[in-house]
Structure 1
Amino acid sequence: MSKVRVLQIIKGLGLGGAERVVCDIVRTLDHSRYELTVAYLLPHKNALVAELEALGVEVVCLSEGDGMGVASSLRLWRLLSSKQFDLVHAHLPSTGIWLRLFRPFFSFRLLYTEHNLWSSYGLLIRWLNRLTYPLNSVSMSCSVQVWRSAGERGIVIRNGIDLDRFQVSPAKDMAGNARICVAICVANLNPKKNHAMLLEAVATMPLREGFRLLLVGQDGHCREALEGQAAALGLSDIVIFHGPSADVVGLIAGADIFVLSSQFEGLPISLLEAMAAGLPAVCTNVGGISEALIDGETGYLVAKSDTERFSLRLSELVDNESKRRDFGAAARKRAELNFGLEKMVASLDAIYCKQLAQ
């Protein structure tokens, strides 16, 4: 029996949440049933390429820097023609819109996953997404809030993570007064993640002695401004700009609290990973975050841009090791019940099978 030919396509393969989801889907699907290919557009966002190739998966970069230009469109056409895919699964609106334009010329079923709130996209992308959305064979959203932002079209398949990669760390050494409490933020340095508000919240914490904030993520064009802000707020010795890392698992394992101050989110993988590692969290209440983080049980939800509240909630966890431990245990349990990778991929596999039967 021949394998089902599946193309996963996304804009880039950098160290981002949607990219991590694509890699985990490819790794977990049954390779005895599926012949998998991954295509991406941005050649400079290739951090996850080696991981995919190590699985024996063909990875194709469609662009040499022209984005969705004529040359990359011709490469995509040749790829679709040569492989004769049964299913094409597009992620994020740019590649989704692109594939919808190609679909009338091919016989594949087109699956699309929305990873962000529509309000986080520019006006042109929102308009094109809305105009072409009916061309999807099936539309999926990573959270209920994302589904609602898409006009409640399609179905919800929540993000999942490999829980086995994240083990709850044993109680850390509490000897003496040299104990350092580390809050970690895993988010690329761009305005939508609102690191500026996070720095302001840390600056207004009543007590900062023995506290560190670790910022992990691609630097983007905001790092210089954020470093300047940290210096102006007197946080240069407290805030650590780590940059991107392939070892997020290890960094999260060494932290005590997870923080995220985003203005927009779908269902952040970094939050799910922190929950799996048994970390309590303080996050802004945007997108699908409230579908994962339960306020007062696994951490705290704060209104978007409420710097004062964010500071108070973070201080509360920094000062209360017992509460951190209780919230963290509840977070791990919630991750196990709701956000395992196997659950997400099983739901996706069922959708694939249903589409193939049509």
Structure 2
Amino acid sequence: MKRLLYLITGLDYAGAENQVIQLCRGFRNKGYTVQLVSMLKPAAYLDELAELGVEVKTLDMNKGVPDPRKIFLLKRMIQAFKPDIVHSHMVHANLIARITRLFVKMPLLICTAHNINEGGKLREFMYRITDPLCDLTTNVSQEAVNRYIAIKAAPEHKIVFMPNGINLTKFSSNDSDYAAIRAELGYADEFIWLAVGRFVPEKDYLNMVTAFSEIRMEFGSCKLLIAGVGPERAAVESLCRQLRVAEHVRFLGIRTDIPRLMNAVDAYLMSSKWEGLPMVLLEAAASELPIVATDVGGNKEVVIDHLNGYLAAAADTENLVHNMRKLMLHSVPERKSMGAKGRAHVIKHYDIDAIINGWSKIYEKTGN
């Protein structure tokens, strides 16, 4: 029975964390003994991991506060667990895993980046100089892999594309829920856009709300729902008031019923300045929602322009408005056809069972 340790920067309700939970489930089902270590104190998924039989430990670090002593705490955890494979996720975990390998045996270390931009020149330099300490780097979009090679964050022979996967039974279109969920939300026939994600600068919600305010002037009966929390929420709410769309933009906070929400809306909207391969786009496509998203990172690998949605230039409000307008002018059957094509694309390329099998092959091949 192989022993697999996942190391992650933090454990919260977000895309990379969601993917790691799915990997934990997949490899527990394959008979692996799995342990998860979070650098920050975990804030989500603890009950789910306990049910899976995954032990969760934490380095109990404070966000934004480097603490070299935690390298030796991680060393002791690895010595106690004796993993056959250490698989780190996100930049801070990737770097601490590599440095810790100087002090403890790791038969196999794989590092996964989840974004095309992980924080500037210093982090890119740190990736470059610590690369000899890992066996393989992966990224969740081909666009990001190409960029990492170009900036020499990883050599071409030591980085591969491995996408996120999605549980297709959890996300699917369910028309019978449409009216019921809308009634719960207090809506009837309005065109509803949905956005899900943290209120942080890279998501560019200020641009999204500005674009929505222009769309409202053309299509009076439309709403925008945003699910998530984060430091920029107050600024986005303030802009909604300034643009006089506050009563048409609804802030939902953290939601654990995203699959149900996706069955109650008409389209998905993303305005990010940069991305890796967003789980939420896979979820929206699997739910047969037509999508308007910015053309950043791996978005174009999920949203095939003019097939299951439209791609807009990042930080370009007018272009975002243009693409939102195009989608809203489609008839309901046309939008449903786009959504069906999006789900077919996800089934073909992002089924979590296929992704788990892909990781199995990487673990076995790289470990030999």
TM-score class normalised by the smaller sequence? over 0.9
Instruction: Render the CA deviation track for 1:121-159: whole Å, top value 9, x for unaligned.
Output: 133222212211232111111110110121144111111
In the alignment, what sits opposite 1:75? 73
In the alignment, what sits opposite 2:153? none
Paired with 2:105 and 2:188, the residues of 1 have a C-alpha distance of 64
The range that moved more, 282-291 or 318-327, is: 318-327
Q: CA deviation at 1:209?
A: 2.2
1:60 and 2:60 are equivalent in the alignment: no
Instruction: Render the CA deviation track for 1:171-206: whole Å, top value 9, x for unaligned.
Output: 7569xx951221111111000000011011111114
Contact map agreement 1:100 1:135 (CA 8 A) in 2: yes
- 1:178-327 mapped onto 2 (5 Å cutoff): 178-205=188-215, 206-217=217-228, 219-320=229-330, 321-327=332-338
The range that moved more, 178-187 or 298-307, is: 178-187
One-letter amino acid of the structure 1 residue matched with residue 103 of structure 2: F
Paired with 1:232 and 1:100, the residues of 2 have a C-alpha distance of 47
The range that moved more, 18-27 or 241-250, is: 241-250
Q: CA deviation at 1:50?
A: 2.0
Tell me the matched-pair count.
350
Contact map agreement 1:169 1:278 (CA 8 A) in 2: no
Going from structure 1 to structure 2, the CA distance change for 1:186 and 1:156 (only over 3 Å counts) comes to same
Paired with 2:231 and 2:240, the residues of 1 have a C-alpha distance of 16
In the alignment, what sits opposite 1:42? 40
Contact map agreement 1:317 1:323 (CA 8 A) in 2: no
Indicate which of 148, 153, 161 corresponds to 1:156.
161
In the alignment, what sits opposite 1:352? 363
Q: CA deviation at 1:104?
A: 2.9
Q: CA deviation at 1:336?
A: 0.8
Contact map agreement 2:112 2:139 (CA 8 A) in 1: yes
Task: Supply the RMSD in Å over aligned alpha carbons.
Answer: 1.9
Paired with 2:61 and 2:188, the residues of 1 have a C-alpha distance of 51
Q: CA deviation at 1:74?
A: 3.2
Structure 2: 5+ residue stretches without partners? 150-155
Indicate which of 348, 353, 356 corresponds to 1:337.
348
Q: CA deviation at 1:8?
A: 0.4
Instruction: Render the CA deviation track for 1:98-124: whole Å, top value 9, x for unaligned.
Output: 111111333321011111113x41332
Paired with 1:273 and 1:41, the residues of 2 have a C-alpha distance of 27
One-letter amino acid of the structure 2 residue matched with residue 156 of structure 1: F
Contact map agreement 1:5 1:87 (CA 8 A) in 2: yes
Indicate which of 127, 134, 150 corresponds to 1:129.
127
One-letter amino acid of the structure 1 residue matched with residue 130 of structure 2: T
Going from structure 1 to structure 2, the CA distance change for 1:154 and 1:189 (only over 3 Å counts) comes to same
Paired with 2:292 and 2:30, the residues of 1 have a C-alpha distance of 42
Residue identity over aligned pairs, in percent, reads: 29
Paired with 1:65 and 1:312, the residues of 2 have a C-alpha distance of 42
Q: CA deviation at 1:342?
A: 0.9
Paired with 2:125 and 2:256, the residues of 1 have a C-alpha distance of 35
Q: CA deviation at 1:75?
A: 2.3
Contact map agreement 2:303 2:309 (CA 8 A) in 1: yes
In the alignment, what sits opposite 1:18? 16
Structure 1: 5+ residue stretches without partners? none
One-letter amino acid of the structure 1 residue matched with residue 257 of structure 2: D
Instruction: Render the CA deviation track for 1:69-95: whole Å, top value 9, x for unaligned.
Output: 145333212101111111100001111
In the alignment, what sits opposite 2:110? 111
One-letter amino acid of the structure 2 residue matched with residue 339 of structure 1: Y
